[in-house]
Amino acid sequence: MNALRESYGQEIDQILAKYPDDEKRSAVMPLLFVAMRKDGYVNKQDLEDIGEIIGRSSTDVASILGFYTLFHDKPEGKYRIQVCNDLPCALRGADEYLDNLCDNLGIRPGETTEDGVVTLEAVMCLAACDKAPMFQVQDYNGVAYHENQTVESTMQLVESWRAEGGKDA
């Protein structure tokens, strides 16, 4: 049966109500958000469930999922550290900072620490150029900025997340 619908029936009905009957496929984005919120990524079953709800193939849903970088299709770190290393930040040492952070975390941009706490990414300008090195954290609760960073300050933050219990916290 449709697992997504079973767990989020009411919310899904509300989402669908916003679209005319013959345009239900437009509900694909909000439905992907629902699935993302569930475990931080969209799994294959979710794709099928959403496809069934909006009457499109799961491949169609997957195309949309793949198009947007902020949707994820596999489990990754609980916290997503997105370091800006665009030109202005690089001039303030973001590149070096990112390199060192990588060494400390033992991963490269795009990878996830073994304990599943952190995924590290290099991104384009986040509009905080004057406070570089900086990054934003994406987690289940939303987005937070951390500015004027050193590797030490960042590692402290990471350690505090780890202390909270990491993945299942």
Partner 1 sequence: MTEAVENQVEEQAQPEEKLVTLTIDNIEVSVPEGTVLVDAAKKIGVDIPVFCYHPKMEPVGMCRMCLVEVGRPVFDRATGEPVLEEDGSPKIQFGPKLDTGCTVEVSEGMVVRGYTEEVVDARKEVLEFLLTSHPLDCPICDKGGECPLQNLTMRYGPGTSRFIFDEKHHAAKHVPLGEIIYLDRERCIQCARCTRFQDEVVDDPVIGFSQRGRSLEIVTFSDPGFDSYWSGNTTDICPVGALTTADFRFGARPWELKASASVCNHCPVGCNTTVNTRREAKSGGELVIKRMMPRQNEYINEIWMCDKGRFAHHYTQSEERLTQPMVRNEVGELEATSWEAALDLVAEEFKAASDGLVTLAGARLSNEDLFNIQQVTEKLGGKALQNTHMAGGELVASVGVGQGSNLSDLGEGDAILVVASDLEEEAPLYWLRIKQASERGATLVVANPRDTKLSSKANYELRYSYGEEAAAVMALLGSISPKTPGESEAVKKLSRGQEVKDAATAISEANNLVVLYGNEGTGLATSQSLADACANLLVATGHVGKANNGLIAVWDKGNTQGAYDMGLVPSEDLAADLMSAKAAYIVAADPAGDDATLAEAIKAVEEDAEKFLVVQELFLTESAKLADVVLPVQANTERQGTYTNAERRVQIFYPAVPAPVNVHADYAVAANIAERLDLKLQKVIPAQVMAQIAETVSDYAEVSYTKMAEVEEQWPIISSEDVFYGGTSYENEQGMGQQLQPASQGGESPALSFAQVADAPKVDGLLAVPVTRLYDRGSTVVPTELLSERLTPTSVVLSPDDAEKLSIEPDAEVTVKLNGTETKAQARIEAGVPQGYVLVPRSVGIALNSPSPVEIKA
Q: Which residues contact 7 (CB under 8 A, 6 or more apart)?
A: 38
Residue choice 4, 101, 117, 132 for contact with ligand FES (CB under 6 A) = 132
Binds 11: which of partner 1, ligand FES, none (CB < 5-8 Å by kind): none
Residue choice 19, 43, 52, 62 for contact with partner 1 (CB under 8 A) = 62
Residue choice 125, 143, 144, 169 for contact with ligand FES (CB under 6 A) = 125
Q: Cβ of residue 63: shortest distance to partner 1, in angstroms?
A: 4
Q: Which residues contact 116 (CB under 8 A, 6 or more apart)?
A: 75, 77, 78, 166, 167
Contact between residue 47 and residue 60 where contact means Cβ atoms under 8 Å apart: no
User: What is Dmax (Cα atoms) for the chain?
Assistant: 54
Residue 42 interacting with ligand FES (CB under 6 A) = no
Q: Which residues pair with 81 in a beta bridge?
A: 120, 137
Residue 122 interacting with ligand FES (CB under 6 A) = no
- At 150, list the tokens: 């050193």
CA distance 83 to 109: 9
Backbone phi and psi for residue 66, each to the nearest 5 degrees, phi listed first: -70, -25
Residue choice 31, 35, 42, 47 for contact with partner 1 (CB under 8 A) = 47
Residue choice 36, 65, 84, 122 for contact with ligand FES (CB under 6 A) = 84
Residue 89 interacting with ligand FES (CB under 6 A) = yes
CA distance 26 to 31: 10
Q: Cβ of residue 67: shortest distance to partner 1, in angstroms?
A: 6
- At 143, list the tokens: 């987005």
Applying CB under 8 A, the residues found at the interface with partner 1 are: 44, 47-48, 56-63, 65-67
Applying CB under 6 A, the residues found at the interface with ligand FES are: 84, 86, 88-89, 125-129, 132
